[in-house]
A and B are shown apart, each in its own frame.
Chain A
Amino acid sequence: MGESAAPVFAVVGHPNKGKSSIVATLAEDESIRVSAEPGTTTDADRFAFVLNERTLYELVDTPGFQRARRALDWMRQRETTAAEHAKVVAEFVAAHRAGDMHRDEAALLRPILDGAAILYVVDGSTPFGPQYEAEMEVLRWTGRPSMALINPIGRADHVEEWRNALSQYFKVVRVFDAMTAEFDKRLDLLRAFGQLDESWRAPMDAAVDALVAEDERRRQRSVELIADLVIDAMTHRESVKLAAEEDAAKRRPELEERYRAFMRKAERRCRSQVESLYRHERLERREGELPLIDEDLFSEGSWSAFGLSRGDMVRLGFVGGGAAGVAAGIGVDAAVAGASLFAATAIGGLVGSIGGAASGWWAMDRLARARLLNQPLGGRLLTYGPADNVNLAFVMLGRALAHHRSIARRTHAARGELVVDPPSSWDAEQKRRLTKAIDAVRRQRGDTYAAREGLIEAITTVMRSG
């Protein structure tokens, strides 16, 4: 067996019936390709799940059976008693290690003879056929712990038919859709692997714990990446030095376009980093597949799907402005030792609320402001940004969270389009928390780490509830 007696699971079966899909999903390796051609995979491929330099378990992706009946025939010709079956299989492997006739059978049986458990994979979307019986019989001869996995590659029309057939050869028969299996389903399967042999329970439990921790870590890192994207959205500015007599108005469109290009690039970068966290580095996304998040960042569709409504903007501006006004009023009241009968607080709150609501209303139509600054040593600097419109942060946040959700759910066997759910709606409290955190980032006063951590906390809350 492998190092430290880590359990090894050989994924075996008929060619092109989802063995590699299962390995790809469990090993989170989208580089594993499914081949429909016979004989293209000639060697078993080992994937070790390692935690802190210790292998917890291994998966072995094997070539499919090509001449199962012929192999079984060879073995039966040498059969003496049932007790000798495993020995006969070993003789078979030894005899065909080098030749072409049973190269694939020898390759798939070798890890089993070395101590691997058998994970026999079939496709539950196609009917059972008699050609599988020879394969299952050969596997039974090895005497190793085994489990059958029905992996419906498509509609699960024939699952029951398969279950009936497989139950005659395997004690454990499970349905596992490698294309769509959510994280919990993967953990369940690993726990079931641990049940095949008493000594495997501890390493498989450790593997499950490690995966749960890894999943949590990925979510946390994704939140950090998304928070940094929002910080970029709220703090970035583009600037250009103007020549002596240059008209600032003529340079403004170019500056604005540079600003938008930066935001698009930052969003793409965040997405690819999240995809890398989940080991989806080869994700092939065709243009237009994701109507929600592949639409241009600044399109009307994006802003209506992910942005705050004008009512939200006014409301949140009202609350934020009111709080600021109250704070200012308290300062005035404190300065006159309460002699104002706290009228300043009330007036400050009212004025701040109205001002905040108004700014929320007007900021809705404007992304950022262009400013013309005089330089300390002469010359003029035209700047665009940072964003005035908090909605930019909400749109980028909504799109990033939707993208994250689809990536986190996607298995590594999936080759089709990325499925994106409609954006979840945030409740008033979540919007308020996010607005407050985003506002702290916009102002960037005091401890910038604290502003970032506040934003991370707010996004974490939203992500968990979504």
Chain B
Amino acid sequence: MDEAGRAGLAEVIDLAVALERDRSAEPGELRRRDEAIGARLRAAGVEPSDRRGLMRGWLAALREDSAGLSGGAAGGLPGGLPGRRWVGAAARATAIAAAVAGLLGWATAMGVFWYDGGRPVNLTMVVLAYGVLPLALLVLTLVAALAGVGALGEWVRGLSPGRLALWAGRRAGAGGGGRASEELRVLGGPGLAEVRKWAVLSASQWVAAGFFTGVLLGALQRVVFTDVSFGWSTTLDVEASTVLWLAQCWSLPWGWAWDGAAPKGVVPVEMSRYVPGEGLVGGPEHGRKWWRFVLMTVVAYAWLPRLVTAGWFGWLLGDAAGRAFDRLPGVALLVDRLAGGTSWQGGSASGSTAADGVGDAVAAGGLPRAGAVAGVVVHWAGAGADGQADAALVAGGSAGLAGDQAVVDRMAAMKPGGVRVVVRGWEPPTLEVLDFVREVRTAVGGGVVIEVAAEALDGAGTGDELRAWRGAIDRLGDGDVRLVVLEGGGGEGGGDG
């Protein structure tokens, strides 16, 4: 994993974990939080079209919040974001595994290249162990990586890199409590499947590179500090010229650059043939000439390819992380919230509900019915027009303020025993009608009952309006002003009383 890849990987893990934690948060809170973060980012110069800039800014804001706030799910992130922790742990685990593999490689090389002056090191076995076998494993790795493990058959499906990563993660996270378990669920989720695959493949190549580094160092140690002789031998009837042709083909990758590392002529090849009981045909000194060939076999067929695949898979890991960064479930929603687009701003949202401060529910059925009235009936703003007697008083509506005053003056002169003000029950009580009721009270004096008779529309008043009427009348603070429901319209008993 290169540094750039690690940074991308940490970010995508952070993003996946943050999105997973957000899933349990209240969506409205998330919207408000992210719109606020988005506004801050845009004010700081991040373009709404810069998806990655927005997401990186969002993650930075969450990290700040988790450092500074107590943090609910929709605020900061309790425990912070784990991307760097997981990537750091993976990098450490990879480094340790590579170091252990290096030791193993060194140990195998010390064994393979052991020479005590008797039987020479078998060239064929060296080529098979450090050339052909690594090459075959590399091909299988590439098939698994590029074509998928399915191409290798059902029997290796359980060994898929993603599953291995998940299993290793579970072991690593065991005992880590709920947070580790949540993070593991995210790491094991389908959104990071590609990332998991390339992370494991990349790490496996670094471990393999570590192994062959150990092999290379072990081989060099044997060559430099001990006397190693190589030879070849076969039961079959194989000519030295055939072995020469094979060796020259095998050394094609480096033969053009390093002349001394490729066999030249059939004689040296024949001289290094091993005959049991007799040793090398040409003596041990002919066997020593093969050390360059052997080292280059390890370098060209094992060590370098693993470094290349490690780098390549690391690059693919970064690519997968980048794709996941853009395509994780929930990312599109997040970007929408951050990018702003359309929004509604302002509004105090402080309006009270219809029932606020009014008390229990009021409906037409819960109020007294208007009976016969002994007194004056005033029709407010056209209310009760159907049953309006000629002698009835009319105020409000098109009557004008002067008309209202005339009615009040008339009542002051009459001093009636009661007053009924018929109003349209479906209309809300405006301050204008309440002013009128107060003026009537002043005119008729205290102790006279004033009924506000709410006319129902189509025989039924609505709960909301009647609640409002009762609240308004209660607020007048006059115990002799009462709300009644007028059924069937009209102002029965009208006229002066």
A-to-B contact residues, CB < 8 Å: 14-16, 20, 27-29, 31-41, 43, 45-53, 55, 58, 61, 64-70, 73, 104, 126-127, 129-131, 133, 210-211, 213-214, 217, 220-221, 224-225, 228, 231, 235, 269, 272-273, 275-277, 281-282, 376-377, 444-449, 452
Contact = CB atoms under 8 A, between A and B. Distances in A.
B493 interface: no
Contact of B351 (A40, A68, A220): A40
Given A16-B468, A36-B467, A129-B424, A66 B430 contact: yes
Interface stretch (B119-127, B236-244, B255-263, B338-346): B338-346
Given A50-B345, A448-B194, A269 B23 contact: yes
Nearest to A26: B344
Contacts of A68: 432
Contacts of B354: 33-37
A67 B432 contact: yes
Nearest to A276: B27
B398 interface: yes
Interface stretch (B280-288, B327-335, B445-453): B327-335
B30 A276 contact: yes
A275 B26 CA distance: 11
27 contacts: A20-B351, A32-B347, A33-B352, A37-B354, A37-B356, A39-B431, A40-B351, A40-B352, A43-B348, A46-B346, A47-B344, A50-B345, A58-B346, A65-B430, A67-B435, A68-B432, A130-B396, A131-B432, A214-B342, A220-B332, A228-B330, A269-B24, A277-B27, A281-B31, A444-B193, A449-B194, A452-B329
Contacts of A210: 341-342
Given A69-B401, A130-B398, A448-B191, A15 B428 contact: yes
A331 B392 CA distance: 99
Contacts of A225: 333
Greatest chain A CB density within 10 A among B27, B30, B340, B464 is at B27
A149 to B, nearest CB: 18
Nearest to B28: A281
A386 B382 CA distance: 70
Interface in B463-484: 464-465, 467-468, 471-472
Nearest to A46: B346
Given A29-B347, A46-B346, A53-B340, A38 B167 contact: no
Contacts of A220: 332
Given A49-B344, A69-B401, A273-B27, A35 B351 contact: yes
Contact of B347 (A45, A235, A282): A45
B346 to A, nearest CB: 5
A271 to B, nearest CB: 10
B345 A448 contact: no
The 9 closest A-B pairs by CB, nearest first: A276-B27, A130-B397, A281-B28, A36-B468, A31-B349, A130-B398, A66-B431, A33-B351, A16-B428
B428 A447 contact: no
A69 B432 contact: yes
Contact of B397 (A16, A31, A38, A131): A131
A129 B431 contact: no
A155 B36 CA distance: 41
B150 interface: yes
Nearest to B345: A48
B82 interface: no
Interface string B283-301: 0000000000000000000
A66 B397 contact: no
Contact of A281 (B27, B330, B346, B353): B27
B381 interface: yes
Nearest to A155: B458
A53 B41 CA distance: 12
B457 interface: yes
A29 B344 contact: yes
A50 B427 CA distance: 35
A235 to B, nearest CB: 7
Contacts of A69: 396, 400-401, 432
A222 to B, nearest CB: 10
Interface in B329-381: 329-330, 332-333, 336, 340-349, 351-354, 356-358, 381
B336 A221 contact: yes
Contacts of B332: 220-221, 224
Contacts of A45: 346-348, 351
B344 A38 contact: no
Contacts of A51: 341-342
A147 B385 CA distance: 30
Contacts of B358: 37
Interface in B41-56: 42, 48
Given A36-B468, A43-B348, A214-B342, 10 more contacts: A14-B427, A33-B353, A37-B472, A38-B472, A55-B345, A65-B430, A224-B329, A272-B27, A276-B28, A449-B194
Q: How large is the interface on B (under 10, 10 to 19, 20 to 34, 35 or more residues)?
A: 35 or more
Contact of B349 (A16, A29, A104): A29
Contacts, number: 193
A64 B427 CA distance: 12
A28 B191 CA distance: 33
A225 B22 CA distance: 14
A37 B468 contact: yes
Contacts of A131: 381-382, 396-397, 427, 430, 432
B383 to A, nearest CB: 8
Nearest to B27: A276
Contacts of A73: 400-401
Contact of A46 (B150, B340, B347, B424): B347
Contacts of A452: 190, 329
Contact of A217 (B341, B356, B401): B341
B324 to A, nearest CB: 8
A43 B381 CA distance: 26
Contacts of B115: none
B489 to A, nearest CB: 12
Contact of B341 (A14, A104, A214): A214
B75 interface: no
B323 interface: yes
B488 interface: no
A115 B425 CA distance: 35
A233 to B, nearest CB: 13
Contacts of A40: 351-352, 356
Contacts of B27: 272-273, 275-277, 281
B153 to A, nearest CB: 13
A66 B471 CA distance: 16
Contact of B431 (A67, A277, A281): A67
B437 to A, nearest CB: 13
B426 interface: yes
B173 interface: no
Nearest to B331: A224
Interface in B153-167: 167
A445 B197 CA distance: 12
A173 to B, nearest CB: 20
Contacts of B348: 43, 45
Given A53-B42, A224-B332, A67 B341 contact: no
Nearest to B160: A445
Contacts of B397: 129-131, 133
Contacts of B472: 37-38
A445 B148 contact: yes
A69 B380 CA distance: 13
Contact of A224 (B333, B434, B467): B333
A45 B347 CA distance: 5
A438 to B, nearest CB: 14
A69 B115 CA distance: 117
A110 B330 CA distance: 44
